[in-house]
Structure 1
């Protein structure tokens, strides 16, 4: 399949996709893009605006995965608002959902965090994420607890930071060699690779079913 991986980060969703697909990944931050490129050398990596790239190229792909920035949608906005940090939700999220739902012929997924407000378009839920898609998303619980308060201390003197670090190791990434100041944030932004793989498998099933129906319809 030709796959678009928008706002790719370090590719948590992509980690278990294998090498049988033609993947184009778009990331705005050049430093993060370099990490992704090192992890997935066979992918085409573009440094740029994933929102605009989607608009310009969406009809070139079989499967689209977009993970628009989540900070303006997350429940942390209650805390920030109380601190005097006030911002609008970024409506690029819904622009992409509407575009793909009405004009894209392939399979798509738009992923984001569970929002502090009632979603304007009803999502599907898997793990700690909302998903908007034109096929059924498998419902899986994430193996990883990576919120800032991710559980009780399991031993005297163990900090929340140490618990988070232990949880994030389950993602299977070793970022020690990379010079990037916000490695924990990179990992927190990852979709559990098992969920990413399960969703791709479901997208392939949907794609193949559509192709089979078209072959029957047109007598191919």
Structure 2
């Protein structure tokens, strides 16, 4: 199966998918892309804009997972809006552009993940922990213990399953917090390909 992993980060969502598939990862930050490639040497890693890559290459894949940037949607963004040093920003609507594009143009299975937003979502998602998921299939309830992002680097490394001790010049806390929890991503991945999966 050919998989497109958009906004790949260091590969939290992909960590437990195994190596039986042809996975193409798109990450715009070269340093983060290098870390991803180190952890997943068999994947094809492309340094590019994921939003544009999706538009140009979606027909080449069977399954697409996207985790677009979340800062402009997060409740943290709203709570920080009164601080003088914070410049408010419009919510980045590329999130919804990709959801609508995949829903109406892509013939395979797909998932878009983002944080729970400070506003009512414009398209109804599935909710799990601190995240929203939009998909081409029904995501059944996944019960997990909610984790606030207050862990140390070491705790996050253990929880997410990545050791970043050999890497310098990066924001390790941010990178690890941005990782989709591997166990959740695996369960959702399996839901996409269950026999007789109910389509939306």
> TM-score, with normalisation over the residues of structure 1?
0.84
Shift of 1:144: 6.5
Q: Hey, what's the Cα distance between the residues in 2 that align with 1:143 and 1:177? A: 30
Partner SS for 2:133: strand
Q: Hey, what's the Cα distance between the residues in 1 that align with 2:158 and 2:169? A: 17
Q: Hey, what's the Cα distance between the residues in 2 that align with 1:196 and 1:171? A: 11
Instruction: Name 2:29's counterpart in structure 1.
Output: 29
1:122 paired to 2:111 = no
- For residues 32-111 of structure 1, the aligned pairs below 5 Å read 32-84=32-84, 85-111=87-113
Q: Hey, what's the Cα distance between the residues in 1 that align with 2:69 and 2:41? A: 24
Q: Hey, what's the Cα distance between the residues in 1 that align with 2:79 and 2:99? A: 27
Summarize the Cα distance change of 1:169–1:144 in structure 2 as closer, same or farther, 3 Å threshold: farther
Q: Is the 8 A contact 1:128 1:142 kept in 2?
A: no
Shift of 1:200: 1.0
Instruction: Name 1:181's counterpart in structure 2.
Output: 170
Summarize the Cα distance change of 1:177–1:143 in structure 2 as closer, same or farther, 3 Å threshold: farther
Shift of 1:79: 2.3
Q: Please provide the CA RMSD for this pair.
A: 1.7
1:203 paired to 2:195 = no
Q: Deviation per CA, 1:158-206, whole angstroms, max 9, x where unpaired?
A: xxx54x742542111111011232011111001110011111111122x
Shift of 1:127: 2.4
Decide which structure has the larger Cα Rg and report it: 1
Q: Is the 8 A contact 1:27 1:47 kept in 2?
A: yes
Q: Is the 8 A contact 1:29 1:47 kept in 2?
A: yes
Q: Which one has the bigger helix percentage? A: 1
What are structure 2's unaligned runs of at least 5 residues?
A: none
Summarize the Cα distance change of 1:174–1:146 in structure 2 as closer, same or farther, 3 Å threshold: farther
Q: How many residue pairs end up in the alignment?
A: 195
Shift of 1:142: 4.0
